[in-house]
Amino acid sequence: MTDIQRGIRAVQTGMIINAALAGIKLVAGIVGNTYALVADAVESGADVFASLLVWGGLAVAAQPADEDHPYGHGKAEAIAAAAVAILLIGAAVGIAFEAAREIRTPHAYPAPWTLAVLAGVMIVKWTLSRRVHAVGAETRSTAVKVDAAHHLSDAITSAAAFIGISLALVGNRVWGGKGWESADDWAALVTSLVIGFNGFSMLRAATHDLMDRMPGDDIVKPIRHAALGVLGVEAIEQVHVRKAGLSYRVTLHVQADGSLSLEDAHIISGCVKTAIRAAAPHVDYVLVHMEPFHGQSVDSE
């Protein structure tokens, strides 16, 4: 199974679970009289749509390069990630608005049994978030990681709702009187801030991919070491790496003995490409520019 297929499989699983949880939470929230649970259901509903976007982005990114897109379709994955992050921010704003409205609106106390629903949701969503994030990390998919962030935000929403409902019920039983019934609404308001923060964080990561930001040393160092380890390579410079979908594209300048024939230089260039791909399987494209070696290079060590 390819990385793209693994990512799509993880997204599909999460989408099915989210659809089921959204229905359960919406009914429980309405019947149990708790807006925090209704907000949680809205978040799960947004997750379903977000998963569809990620699924579509991964499917497009998997298409091979063609005449109109010689560099492939990998950017579709980052575009999907950005769209989902914006959706997450929008959900946070909507939840905050509705929570503020509910705080000012008198209503009855939530039903105690809604706590059991939230406890089950927290366990399911936390587990799902960890598993999807693991797939995103292994496949280097920003979109799948954003999908995992959606699941995590849902778990956080459920946890906040659990705390809010508990405070409302305990406050009413211990201290009595009015005012405690809005505790779950305050929990939903606080949760919206957490969701919004996660959304902006994920949007930043997706933007970095779209802007071709240089990846970290965990990606670049193996590429440099592999190139320098090729027989005949004296030094390297201008190593540029950018992410395209789930893979990376590399361009670099390789310095070798200036007296080499064009054919020998071409052979060294091919060996550099092979070495890089062997050391970093996630690299699917390498462009080598050969230059004569005239002294120490900044990237020679």
Boundaries of every domain in the chain = 3-210, 217-292
User: Rounded CA gap, 39 and 26, in Å?
Assistant: 8
What pLDDT is recorded for position 146?
Answer: 79
Class of the domain covering 217-292: alpha beta
Which tens digit of pLDDT belongs to each residue from 36-83? 677 677 767 777 877 888 888 888 888 888 888 888 888 888 888 888
Question: Is 291's pLDDT higher than 60?
Answer: yes
Which DSSP string do the residues of 223-265 spell out, in sequence order?
A: HHHHHHTSTT--EEEEEEEEEETTEEEEEEEEEE-TTS-HHHH
3-state secondary structure of 111: coil
The pTM score is 0.72
User: Rounded CA gap, 9 and 11, in Å?
Assistant: 5
Topology of the domain covering 3-210: Alpha-lytic protease prodomain-like (1.20.1510)
The reply to whether 3-210 and 217-292 are identical in fold is: no
Give the type of residue at 147.
D
Residue pair 49/105 in contact by the 8 Å Cβ criterion: no
Which tens digit of pLDDT belongs to each residue from 106-123? 666 677 887 888 888 889
User: Rounded CA gap, 276 and 73, in Å?
Assistant: 22
User: Rounded CA gap, 95 and 35, in Å?
Assistant: 10
Strand partners for 254? 236, 290
Two structure tokens written together for 105: 């609106």
Confidence of residue 1 (pLDDT cuts 50, 70, 90): low
